Amino acid sequence: MPAARDRMPLAERVEQLLAPGGPLTVVAAGDPVLRHPAEPFDGQLEPALLARFVEALRVTMHAAPGVGLAAPQVGVALRIAVIEDPAPVPQDVRLARGRVPQPFRVLVNPSCRPVGTARAAFFEGCLSLPGWQAVVARPGRVRLTGSDEHGRALDEEFTGWPARIVQHETDHLDGVLYVDRAELRSLSANRTVAERWAQPTPGTAARELGFDLPE
C-alpha cells in the first residue's frame, strides 16, 4: 500500500516539508522514492513555492554537508537537483581528481551523456547512504542538458569532479544509487577511507582490496 506521502499532491507535500523551516530530512537508502525515476518538472510547483523549495535544498545540502542534493533525497519525486562545490581540498587532490570549485546552481530536468570514452574511478559517497564510500568508475567528461529554475536552457560540458557530481545527481533522478555502479570490493567506512585510502587516487585501495581500475 502506498504511503500517505506518496498519495499526497506534490505541491502539498512540498508545503508540508517546508513548514518547519531549516534543513530538510535526507531520505535514507531503502526508501522507494530513491528507486523510481522522478517525474519531470512541468510547473507542478508555482514559482514562489519552487523558489522556496530550491532554497531548502540549498540549506539542506550545506548542512549535511554535501556537494549535491536531488529532490528525491528529501522525498520529492521531481527531476530537480542542486549542486555546489567550494572544493576545499589540497592541491595534489585537486589536480588528480580534477576537482575545481563549482558555484551554486539548480538543475531542472537534467540529462547527462558521455563525451568521449575516457573514464575515471574515485571513492564516492552519498548523503542517503551515510558512513560509507566506494570506488565508482564514471565518464570523465559529460554533456549536461536541461534548464535552471527560471526555465533558462542549460547545455554545458563538465569534466573531472564536476562531471562526477552531475552524474551522481542525475542518477538519483533516475532511481539509481552510486552503489549500483560501484566496485563493491572497495566499499569502505568513512573512517577507513580517512585512515587508509586518503591518497589522491584509489590506486593503493585497488591493490590492497583486489579490484581493477579503468585503464
Domain CATH code at residue 29: 3.90.45.10
pLDDT, mean of residues 201-207? 97
pLDDT, mean of residues 70-85? 98
Question: Is residue 185 within 8 Å of 209, Cβ to Cβ?
Answer: yes
Catalytic member of 84, 124, 149, 169: 169
- For the whole model, what pTM was predicted? 0.94
Burial of 33 (0-12, 13-18, 19+ CB in 10 A): buried
Task: Give the Cα separation of 150 and 185 in Å (integer).
Answer: 42
Task: Give the Cα separation of 133 and 182 in Å (integer).
Answer: 9
H or E element at residue 80: strand 80-85
Q: Cell 559517497 maps to which residue? A: 125
Task: Give the Cα separation of 69 and 152 in Å (integer).
Answer: 20
For residue 8, what pLDDT is reported? 76
78: DSSP letter: B
Residue 149 annotated among the catalytic residues of the structure: no
Q: Which residues are annotated as a binding site for Fe cation?
A: 126, 168, 172
The per-residue pLDDT of the chain, averaged, comes to 95
Burial of 200 (0-12, 13-18, 19+ CB in 10 A): middle
How many domains is the chain partitioned into structurally? 1
For residue 169, what pLDDT is reported? 98
Query: Does residue 191 have a pLDDT over 70?
Result: yes
Query: pLDDT of 45-59, one tens digit each?
Result: 999 999 999 999 999
Task: Give the Cα separation of 61 and 54 in Å (integer).
Answer: 11
Query: pLDDT of 126-154, one tens digit each?
Result: 999 999 999 999 999 999 999 999 999 99
Task: Give the Cα separation of 70 and 112 in Å (integer).
Answer: 15
For residue 215, what pLDDT is reported? 79
With cut-offs at 50, 70 and 90, classify the pLDDT of residue 83: very high
Task: Give the Cα separation of 70 and 132 in Å (integer).
Answer: 19
Question: Is residue 11 within 8 Å of 49, Cβ to Cβ?
Answer: yes
Residue 81: name the closest of 99, 100, 61, 64 by CA: 61
Assigned domain for 215 exists:
no
Assigned domain for 94 exists:
yes
Q: Which residues are annotated as a binding site?
A: 126, 168, 172
Residue 107: name the closest of 60, 165, 66 by CA: 165
Task: Give the Cα separation of 151 and 41 in Å (integer).
Answer: 10
Task: Give the Cα separation of 41 and 92 in Å (integer).
Answer: 39
Q: Determine the structural domain holding residue 90 and report its residue range.
A: 4-209
Task: Give the Cα separation of 11 and 15 in Å (integer).
Answer: 6
32: DSSP letter: G
Residue 105: name the closest of 137, 61, 141 by CA: 61
User: Which range among 5-9, 25-29, 64-68, 146-150 shows the weakest confidence by mean pLDDT?
Assistant: 5-9
